[in-house]
Structure 1
Amino acid sequence: MSERPSGTPRTESPGGFWAQAGADPERTVLIAPDGEEWTAGRLHADVNRLVHGLRAAGMERGDAFAVVLPNGVEFFTAYLAASQAGFYLVPVNHHLVGPEIAWIVADSGAKVLIAHERFAAAATAAADEAGLPGARRYSVGDVDGFRPYAELLDGQPAAPPADRTLGWVMNYTSGTTGRPRGIRRPLPGRPPEETHLGGFLGIFGIRPFDGNVHLVCSPLYHTAVLQFAGASLHIGHRLVLMDKWTPEEMLRLIDTHACTHTHMVPTQFHRLLALPEEVRGRYDVGSMRHAIHGAAPCPDHVKRAMIDWWGHCVEEYYAASEGGGAFATAEDWLKKPGTVGRAWPISELAVFDDDGNRLPPGELGTVYMKMSTGGFSYHKDEAKTRKNRIGDFFTVGDLGLLDEDGYLFLRDRKIDMIISGGVNIYPAEIESVLLGHPAVADAAAFGIPHADWGEEVRAVVEPAEGHTPGPELAAAILAHCEQRLAGYKRPRSVDFIGAMPRDPNGKLYKRRLREPYWEGHDRPV
């Protein structure tokens, strides 16, 4: 069992990880999934070595490198290295298959790929397809054709590198075209010490030091998960990393390490609530101050049950990879059930109609956000960047309304997007794969209710002439998808239809397909 933070709570200005590593190098700042404890000094030294190693591999300020890694110290080493060397870190969802990873590696212009041996097949296929030279492939563990990750660090100095400058994370988010798009922010040209993000967590009432321990219970390749964890580290919080999440293990870690805050998705709530009372009662979760959830809608009955169990630490936010957002305390939500909260102090919310007119409270329209922290562009997609903006406001396509008190209520989500277990899935990409099968004349993919994940993917197919609908054809189509889509994107089943409901211009009335599956459920379609 690791030592719990103790003594008089510290609340002074944190100065970012870099200052803390210099002032207190023996302080434990990270507990790896295997229980190994990392001090600030040890982590700082590895970060410095990685910067030197990446520069020796040919990387310069403004270059990108991609990682296909599980939650672990190597992920955080890469994150901190990018943030002090002016690199772009490109975190890749490790559930993707080779061609999907290859697209991101090539599109981002990644000069180096670091992958874990657990994802060897997909990483190798991706590196080959992207044309990445063997000298720029590195692996944690053994991957044929990859150099050991340790080579990037071995022999490099532990001292900070010269020409330190703030870098960014470049996350990829899918669009309606189905191809992922990188969210690229210009490098600010400021010292890395200015990245501590204390103001971000302050939105949620989370203070520097103060005995805080952040539990990372979701994959770090997610934008919000990495931002919450990185911000926590920079303001003096200890991190406890989970690799593979299970509900009882989460409770055990909260109890063992006195975890005070975490970022969650509603699927995790659902699975925690499914634990027997006897299992729940074994663990003390009284240390939890902020169990912040987002990424997907949370059913009212699930949220009420979590508040009943964990108390008013259950809080909600609304944001996107592009920015945010809104925040609702438990008190806010109980007062206005269904709200995702009011605007952050660093953001502004507005609702516009299709003609670009700002709507008054109570009227449904497209939700737009504006942030005071700077803009972004979609990498290599200026048309999408322009399309999603009105002045300084941007949208991710969600529909909603603001009430008289400024509370936001969402009424729909990104057009046709599926959210399964807190993960965004874009039907256009699935439909493109379905249409690649010779027996498919037309296809649609959408989400249907799933008790655990929130939604699962369902495909509806119009067979091509000469092909008979039935179990044999459905199995062939699903096998086709298995070779081309990550597991979480694949349809779980296929239904057949004589003709797709389209208007004369070819627009698909997807709502007509979805409605029968959502009858009797409390989610809008």
Structure 2
Amino acid sequence: MSTLHDEPLLPDLIISALNRFEDEPCIHLGDQILSYGDVRRQTSQLIQALQKRGVGRGTHLAVLSKNRPEVLTNLAAAMINGSVITPLHPMGSLEDHAYVIGAAKIECLVIDVDHFSRLAADLKARFPDLIVLSFGPSDVGDDYLALASTFEPQPLVAPRVGPGDPCTLAYTGGTTGLPKGVLLPQRVWSNLTFIQMAEWEFPREVRMLVATPLSHAAMTLLGPVLLHGGSFHVMESFSPDGFFDLVEQRRITTTMIVPVMLYALQSQPRYRTADMSSMETIFYGASPMSPPKLADAIKLWGPIFFQFYGQSEAPMVIAHMKKADHDLSKPKRLASCGRPAPWVHVALLGPDNQPVAPGESGEICARGPLVMIGYHDMDVETTEALSADWLHTGDVGRFDEDGFLYIVDRTKDMVITGGFNVFPREVEDVISSHAAVNTVIVVGVPDEKWGEAVKAVVVLSRGFAPSNELTAEIQALVKQIKGSQQSPKTIDYVDGVPLTAVGKPDKKAVRARYWSGTDRSVG
């Protein structure tokens, strides 16, 4: 087959970037600094170590690690090696990981020995043929780094893979049923990178603060940061003080956050005193942002926010809202996720798979090079998600007269109470405008009279305490803006909400508490 018109894929882009620089800093974590030359050489050695253990093109490889530099170099090595990569959530249980390893047919597991040695031993006992490689000496498997050090660095060579060949297999819990393995081909990651380079507003000097798990975030950032000649400044784990310290000390110019991280920053006194003058772009997404909290951050830090919208099945760049579009004179627009990317087909479809009328709400559907191959070994679910030659996102959206897309809610999250349809996202936006509310999740819960009742689960801002008066205030606010049928019948006050691997509120886990009959105190 002719290779005359082959496009560069993400492994090619990584190699190009790593070859372009030498002594410039690439990765900072604590006191460790790796230059581009260091990363290039370590990547080559890791590739040779993988191949020595029989891990090559098409091998299914999983990664279980907290944040450390080797997560990035191993990712580059696995990509250039042509392996199929599955990230495992660092906070997941043994049963979570065992399910994924079995379902994804994982052949090699790379672990952070400092934190996951025992867990790896339990997984190895269940899967005796599993190849285990550890970042350091381990009783469970081979010392990956020691093995890599026995090889001399060699020039990096891209694998012989095509745009349709599998690249990543990531498991998402979704809203119902077992976790689904989203199989993404090489073309998704190269096209995602092209769109990021063309549309995303990166600073001229990229000093990227990474505060989320590298095992999940790195795939989306590796290409554009390296191609800009930028550097990663990695937090071992997120904390508001650690975030502000790193921004001030390293003069961070950009970061990627999820909304709950901004809320955590806003709950601290340093939110209003920290020196954020070096920050030029804050990318945010993965879950809906509270418009009032976003407006407050823009007023304080300036027009530095850039929103992205996508999902595991078509990651990150379905639509975006640029910094200038975060217009405080048009506050309603802050609830938007921007306009569709020019390289993606986006439509709002009705139940008949036909476009809805202008101004009406419909399911957000996408097609183009960003769309997944399908769900791994789940033919029925794949057929449903990709019916009529569209990816059905499960999100309900509408366009305004200027072409901005607004996500009303998830189709499966809709609450039907007494015959009324309630979209939790709309109720959450109202509740989050109350000064006492830091984070809110709205779900439907069983109710003998109404079938389902609207419940709000609220994390309060610093200085506020639960009370019957506060509950009444919040309920009245929703009644005033959205009507009585959308006002929560009950409000639970909690210290925190569960999060998914990418840091968005895990509505499925919250809903399960109530539908499984777990007792809760109700305000």
TM > 0.5: yes
Alpha carbons of structure 1 residues 216 and 414: separation in structure 2 relative to 1, 3 Å = farther
Code of the aligned partner of 2:235: M
Q: Offset of 1:118 from its aligned partner?
A: 0.9
Q: Offset of 1:257 from its aligned partner?
A: 1.8
TM-score by length of 1: 0.72
Q: 2:46 aligns with which of 34, 47, 50?
A: 50
Give the distance between the partners of 2:192 and 2:39, measured in 1 at CA.
16
Give the distance between the partners of 1:182 and 1:260, measured in 2 at CA.
34
Give the distance between the partners of 1:280 and 1:231, measured in 2 at CA.
30
Structure with more of its chain in helix, by fraction: 2
Alpha carbons of structure 1 residues 58 and 78: separation in structure 2 relative to 1, 3 Å = same
Code of the aligned partner of 2:205: G
SS for the counterpart of 2:172 is: strand
Q: 1:64 aligns with which of 60, 75, 79?
A: 60
Aligned length: 430
- Counterpart in the other structure of 1:180: 179
Q: Does 1:318 align with 2:309?
A: yes
After superposition, give the CA deviation of every residue in 1:18-64 in whole Å (9 maximum; x if it has no partner).
234334321111112x2311011111111111111111111221112
Give the distance between the partners of 2:368 and 2:50, measured in 1 at CA.
33
After superposition, give the CA deviation of every residue in 1:63-82 in whole Å (9 maximum; x if it has no partner).
12111011221111121012
> 1:362, 1:402 within 8 Å by CA — same for their partners in 2?
yes
SS for the counterpart of 2:363 is: strand
Q: 1:228 aligns with which of 217, 221, 234?
A: 221
- Counterpart in the other structure of 2:406: 409
> 2:267, 2:461 within 8 Å by CA — same for their partners in 1?
no
Q: Offset of 1:376 from its aligned partner?
A: 2.2
Alpha carbons of structure 1 residues 308 and 111: separation in structure 2 relative to 1, 3 Å = same
Alpha carbons of structure 1 residues 71 and 201: separation in structure 2 relative to 1, 3 Å = farther
Alpha carbons of structure 1 residues 213 and 163: separation in structure 2 relative to 1, 3 Å = closer
Q: Does 1:145 align with 2:154?
A: no
- Counterpart in the other structure of 1:448: 457
SS for the counterpart of 2:16 is: helix
Code of the aligned partner of 1:268: M
Give the distance between the partners of 1:132 and 1:497, measured in 2 at CA.
37
Code of the aligned partner of 2:110: I
Q: Does 1:111 align with 2:120?
A: no
> 2:117, 2:140 within 8 Å by CA — same for their partners in 1?
no
**Structure 2: runs of 5+ lacking an equivalent:** 1-11, 415-423, 429-438, 447-451, 463-504
SS for the counterpart of 1:358 is: coil
Q: Does 1:39 align with 2:48?
A: no
> 1:138, 1:147 within 8 Å by CA — same for their partners in 2?
yes
- Counterpart in the other structure of 1:385: 382
After superposition, give the CA deviation of every residue in 1:192-215 in whole Å (9 maximum; x if it has no partner).
9x78924324322226xx212111
C-alpha RMSD of matched pairs (Å)? 3.9
Give the distance between the partners of 2:456 and 2:139, measured in 1 at CA.
38
Give the distance between the partners of 1:492 and 1:142, measured in 2 at CA.
42
> 1:17, 1:236 within 8 Å by CA — same for their partners in 2?
no
Give the distance between the partners of 1:237 and 1:105, measured in 2 at CA.
34
Counting only pairs closer than 5 Å after superposition, residues 405-484 of structure 1 correspond to structure 2 as 405-413=402-410, 415-416=412-413, 448-451=457-460
- Counterpart in the other structure of 2:268: 275
Give the distance between the partners of 2:268 and 2:210, measured in 1 at CA.
20
After superposition, give the CA deviation of every residue in 1:319-353 in whole Å (9 maximum; x if it has no partner).
11111411113442433231111101221221111
Give the distance between the partners of 1:338 and 1:491, measured in 2 at CA.
23
> 1:292, 1:316 within 8 Å by CA — same for their partners in 2?
yes
Counting only pairs closer than 5 Å after superposition, residues 75-90 of structure 1 correspond to structure 2 as 75-90=71-86
Q: Offset of 1:101 from its aligned partner?
A: 0.5
Give the distance between the partners of 2:309 and 2:158, measured in 1 at CA.
37
Give the distance between the partners of 1:286 and 1:445, measured in 2 at CA.
42
Alpha carbons of structure 1 residues 444 and 181: separation in structure 2 relative to 1, 3 Å = farther
> 1:67, 1:91 within 8 Å by CA — same for their partners in 2?
yes
Alpha carbons of structure 1 residues 99 and 285: separation in structure 2 relative to 1, 3 Å = same
Give the distance between the partners of 1:379 and 1:27, measured in 2 at CA.
40
Q: Offset of 1:221 from its aligned partner?
A: 3.2
After superposition, give the CA deviation of every residue in 1:229-287 in whole Å (9 maximum; x if it has no partner).
4431233211111111111211221222222211111111111111215x742x32122
Alpha carbons of structure 1 residues 310 and 81: separation in structure 2 relative to 1, 3 Å = same
- Counterpart in the other structure of 1:469: none
> 1:267, 1:452 within 8 Å by CA — same for their partners in 2?
no
Alpha carbons of structure 1 residues 74 and 361: separation in structure 2 relative to 1, 3 Å = same
Identical columns (%): 23
Alpha carbons of structure 1 residues 98 and 137: separation in structure 2 relative to 1, 3 Å = same
Give the distance between the partners of 2:191 and 2:133, measured in 1 at CA.
27
Q: 2:212 aligns with which of 194, 212, 218?
A: 218
Give the distance between the partners of 2:369 and 2:157, measured in 1 at CA.
31
- Counterpart in the other structure of 1:339: 336
Code of the aligned partner of 2:69: V
Alpha carbons of structure 1 residues 231 and 451: separation in structure 2 relative to 1, 3 Å = farther
Give the distance between the partners of 1:42 and 1:51, measured in 2 at CA.
14
Q: Offset of 1:83 from its aligned partner?
A: 1.7
Q: 1:304 aligns with which of 291, 295, 319?
A: 295
Give the distance between the partners of 2:404 and 2:82, measured in 1 at CA.
38
TM-score by length of 2: 0.73
Code of the aligned partner of 1:98: L
Alpha carbons of structure 1 residues 199 and 497: separation in structure 2 relative to 1, 3 Å = closer
SS for the counterpart of 1:197 is: helix
SS for the counterpart of 1:350 is: strand
Give the distance between the partners of 2:253 and 2:206, measured in 1 at CA.
6
- Counterpart in the other structure of 1:204: 200
**Structure 1: runs of 5+ lacking an equivalent:** 1-14, 432-442, 454-486, 501-512, 520-525
> 1:102, 1:127 within 8 Å by CA — same for their partners in 2?
no
Q: Does 1:93 align with 2:89?
A: yes
Code of the aligned partner of 2:250: H
Q: Offset of 1:182 from its aligned partner?
A: 2.0
Code of the aligned partner of 2:109: L
Q: Does 1:254 align with 2:247?
A: yes
Code of the aligned partner of 1:221: S
After superposition, give the CA deviation of every residue in 1:432-460 in whole Å (9 maximum; x if it has no partner).
xxxxxxxxxxx99997333479xxxxxxx
Alpha carbons of structure 1 residues 70 and 447: separation in structure 2 relative to 1, 3 Å = farther
Code of the aligned partner of 1:376: I
Q: Offset of 1:496 from its aligned partner?
A: 9.0
Code of the aligned partner of 1:365: G
SS for the counterpart of 1:185 is: strand
- Counterpart in the other structure of 1:264: 257
> 1:17, 1:196 within 8 Å by CA — same for their partners in 2?
no
